[in-house]
Structure 1
Amino acid sequence: MIEQEKIERVWFIGIGGIGMSAIARYFHMKGILVAGYDRTPSVVTEALEQEGVSVVFNDACELIDEVFRDASTTLVVYTPAVEHSQKQLVWFRENGFSVLKRAEVLGLITRESKAICIAGTHGKTTISTITTHLFRQSRQGCTAFLGGISKNYATNFLWDGNSPFTVLEADEFDRSFLRLNPASALVSAVDPDHLDIYGDRESFRQAFIDFGRKICKNGCLVVNAALTVDWQLAEGVKVYTYSAAQKADFYATDIRMEDGYYVFTLVTPEDKIENLKMGVPGLLNVENAVGAAALALINGVLPDEIQEALPLFSGIARRFETHINTGDLIYIDDYAHHPEEIRATVNSVRAMYPNHRITGIFQPHLYSRTKDFAKEFAVALELLDELFLLDIYPARELPVAGVDSALIGSDVRRIPVHLCSKELLPEMLSLQLPQVFLSMGAGDIDREVAAIKKRLMSLINKM
């Protein structure tokens, strides 16, 4: 494998992915020549191009620039979501290049730092971004690789050459998080997912136990108090619990709403931090903030720094993001794509608007996930008052016979369900103006947000 000091160029396969683009920005910041491939243009690839990174949208090997064809100086990084038959990936492998998965590169980057790794089936992007914000607003500082675009910093990568800390998400997909070397870690949830990779729920759960084993000697593990996992940890690793629903080592109490945002007291093993104010809405974010604050406090961030920084946290694109908030309509978009995420998101919206009718649109992500959790999706989506179901976003998968959105819709019986394509959605929205509209999914539904917003505003203006 190419030695790190000899890397002069890096070619990314799947450069538009949120995790991949953060690593691309890291190398670009270091003055290393960066370019890559992605399937389609996006907001992320457009931003990379504006920053001086070349991106191609065809996997033809002829599009690999000549300067990236020297195996002695070029590293190739690929996302596990890309097909093994991808033409450029095959060419690089056949020609003796060092070809690494995204997680392997993160493992190398963080090996010499105090890595703070946030894992969990859901919540990890929000928790890692809040954690990053708390560190960046403190004397500690940090470098960060995020799974979403921070609204505070307008990026998914932050660099601090003076801080020993690196904050990053620990992604369970393809067992990627087992490549990392955490000094501190957090686990938010272990609800089964990616069963196409793991095979069964027990193997999925075992992967999180294996992740816990990766925490370095005398490190720390912060876990959601609701989890019951038989952790097997290295010598001296301290375990802390956190919660917004029950007593724990770090927990929220006196939770109340002020001007549309939650305020709470954070109880810690040593003290209390009173009147902590959230800068983003949603009850689920209170628990996320408790977990992030626990990581920050354990690693030297001061209570007064947290008190000052938390209200300034303005959120992440596509994480409980409000696009319309008038007297007639609220429109919120969220990345929720797992049944438990949907449940948490809808319940948070219901808590904020208890007397409103909530209409939701959901785009299932992956045929395998839809097949494995169709009934669980139906139960979670029935928390809405009305549901629009889009076609499945396939991502890396080929169609599976008998698996489509109707598999979910057939189990939703207590509320009206509309199966529709993205093309027909504007017409369907004309049927009735909702009071609260919620779009959810991890596919390409984000590209419909602007059109949905425009359509809803036009309906409001006709009232």
Structure 2
Amino acid sequence: MTLDQFKYIYFLGIGGIGMSALARWFQVNGYAVAGYDKTPTTLTDELASEGMVIHFTEDINQIPLEFRENPSKTLIIYTPAVPQTHLEYIYLTGQGFTIQKRSQVLGLLAGEMTTIGVAGTHGKTTTSSMVAHILRDSGVNCAAFLGGITTNYGTNFLLNQPADDLRSVVCVVEADEFDRSFLTLFPTFAIVTSTDADHLDIYGAHEAVLESFGQFVSQIEPSGVLFMKQGLSLANKTQAAVRSYALKEGDYYSQNLRIEESSFVFDLVYPKGVISDIYLTVPGFHNVENAVAAGAVALEVGVSLEAIRSALNSYLGVHRRFEYILKTKSAILIDDYAHHPAEVQAFLLSVKALYPDRELTAVFQPHLFSRTRDFAEGFAESLSLADHVILLDIYPARELPMEGVTSDLIFQGVHSKTKIKCTKTELPDVVRKMKPSLLVTIGAGDINQLLTVLKNILADQ
């Protein structure tokens, strides 16, 4: 299959963060794009304003007529989140349309360019967006398909400049391990940030997660390079060169790390020297580590030391990753997408380092019944870093409820000064009564829908 045989591109699940990036690539490159999603969002509104035809009910007649009448010229791209019982999926399958997962199509696109694949059970969105920003800010002709909305560009997709030889274009791809999507990629360079147990509803066991990451790094071009978090067991799985990185050790690491005026300042040590005085305005020890990895791969593709320093100094982050919602003398509100115990721990440790004189109140919305079941003890331990914990009900996402699995599994293990369990509806009143000076909201569900309300409460206290 080649993409030039198609004229129309139809997305089942167009509003997802990864699907929308792909939709934008096709739209910009002259294809007619349309799609279905379950509910309208700010992101689907933006796609519609860019010229895409989008609807929100399962209705075959709402698929544009020219798409339906030209099966041979129409490519259907779907996300596994859309069930195979979906009316449109059944129709399109029965009519002989070419149907591909997003990951398969992304693999086709990326395969035409020099690809940097950024993988990991956590850290990949920030790291990939850092790499993309360094390249774009440094004048490298690059494309990027990211898993979050970048603050610098207001999008999850960067379009490259036209090139006679696409191999001269560097394509940054957030390589998602969910349902083994990243196995469609054969990158020249790869970063692996972590291989913790996650998505066990898909994989079943941690060993299967490790096996999948092993297969991913085996697909790196033999002439390429794997940048691997120090301590991971992947070096023997690839023919590519292997280089390690971490916060304080490895081939690439940070030194002279300190906090100055809410910025993490550090020197990036690499095998041939040092890039000194990087001011990372997006806080977090984990983000310093991500910046080390991003700087390492940027050096490999030929970006200068000064350009790397300048780009990291101007990097503004990703929506819902250590994102300041309110920052005044009396109150601070930070939102973060963390949904794994290791992510929660890294986030809370960084917040406490930034604000050692304030008591920390954390609101956590667990994501998925299966993840809560598998990591309840780890979540409880991580959340206990906060002085006060407010625990919400589980956000189900793609899952049906599981018997005996509730946020109580986490709640009973939390040993902070105070802990409260409440619903989303009750949360504003709880926060209003507590009057926290440092509040963080954590989770991959819809907790961010309450940020405006919480911001106003804190601003008025």
Output the amino acid matched with 1:245: K
Deviation at 1:285, TM superposition (A): 1.1
Asked whether the 8 Å contact 1:16–1:42 carries over to 2, the reply is yes
SS of alignment partner, residue 155 of structure 1? coil
Which aligned pairs between 1:93-104 and structure 2 lie closer than 5 A? 93-104=93-104
Residue 422 (structure 1) aligned to one of 411, 414, 424: 424
Deviation at 1:77, TM superposition (A): 0.7
Q: Hey, what does 2:352 align to over in structure 1?
A: 350
Deviation at 1:245, TM superposition (A): 2.4
Residue 213 (structure 2) aligned to one of 208, 227, 233: 208
Q: What's the % identity of the aligned pairs?
A: 44
Which deviates further from its counterpart, 342-351 or 387-396? 387-396
Asked whether the 8 Å contact 1:212–1:231 carries over to 2, the reply is no
For the residues of structure 2 that align with 1:386 and 1:199, how far apart are their CA atoms?
33
Q: Hey, what does 1:33 align to over in structure 2?
A: 32
SS of alignment partner, residue 327 of structure 1? coil
Deviations along 1:47-67, whole A, 9 cap, x unmatched? 111111121111222221212
Which aligned pairs between 1:13-412 and structure 2 lie closer than 5 A? 13-69=12-68, 70-161=70-161, 162=163, 163-234=168-239, 237-246=240-249, 248-412=250-414
Which TM-score applies when normalising by structure 2?
0.96
Asked whether the 8 Å contact 1:82–1:396 carries over to 2, the reply is no
SS of alignment partner, residue 138 of structure 2? coil
Asked whether the 8 Å contact 1:139–1:301 carries over to 2, the reply is no
For the residues of structure 2 that align with 1:115 and 1:228, how far apart are their CA atoms?
23
SS of alignment partner, residue 72 of structure 1? helix
For the residues of structure 1 that align with 2:193 and 2:147, how far apart are their CA atoms?
15
Deviations along 1:282-319, whole A, 9 cap, x unmatched? 22211110000001001111111112211111111111
For the residues of structure 1 that align with 2:292 and 2:10, how far apart are their CA atoms?
38
Deviation at 1:244, TM superposition (A): 1.4
Q: Hey, what does 1:11 align to over in structure 2?
A: 10
Asked whether the 8 Å contact 1:140–1:300 carries over to 2, the reply is no
Residue 438 (structure 2) aligned to one of 422, 436, 440: 436
Deviation at 1:375, TM superposition (A): 1.1
Asked whether the 8 Å contact 1:325–1:331 carries over to 2, the reply is yes
Asked whether the 8 Å contact 1:282–1:348 carries over to 2, the reply is yes
Asked whether the 8 Å contact 1:128–1:292 carries over to 2, the reply is yes
Which TM-score applies when normalising by structure 1?
0.96
SS of alignment partner, residue 267 of structure 2? strand
SS of alignment partner, residue 431 of structure 1? helix
For the residues of structure 1 that align with 2:286 and 2:124, how far apart are their CA atoms?
12
Output the amino acid matched with 1:217: P
For the residues of structure 1 that align with 2:326 and 2:13, how far apart are their CA atoms?
32
SS of alignment partner, residue 430 of structure 1? helix
Deviation at 1:271, TM superposition (A): 1.3
SS of alignment partner, residue 452 of structure 1? helix
Output the amino acid matched with 1:325: K
For the residues of structure 1 that align with 2:91 and 2:281, how far apart are their CA atoms?
48
Deviation at 1:279, TM superposition (A): 2.8
For the residues of structure 1 that align with 2:86 and 2:408, how far apart are their CA atoms?
31
Alignment RMSD, CA only?
1.3
For the residues of structure 2 that align with 1:310 and 1:230, how far apart are their CA atoms?
28
For the residues of structure 2 that align with 1:6 and 1:432, how far apart are their CA atoms?
60
Output the amino acid matched with 2:46: A
Output the amino acid matched with 2:245: Y
SS of alignment partner, residue 252 of structure 1? strand
SS of alignment partner, residue 12 of structure 1? strand
For the residues of structure 1 that align with 2:40 and 2:447, how far apart are their CA atoms?
15
SS of alignment partner, residue 384 of structure 1? coil
Q: Count matched residues.
A: 455
Asked whether the 8 Å contact 2:121–2:194 carries over to 1, the reply is yes
Gaps of 5+ in 1: none
Gaps of 5+ in 2: none
Asked whether the 8 Å contact 1:113–1:165 carries over to 2, the reply is yes
Which deviates further from its counterpart, 406-415 or 24-33? 406-415
Deviation at 1:230, TM superposition (A): 5.0
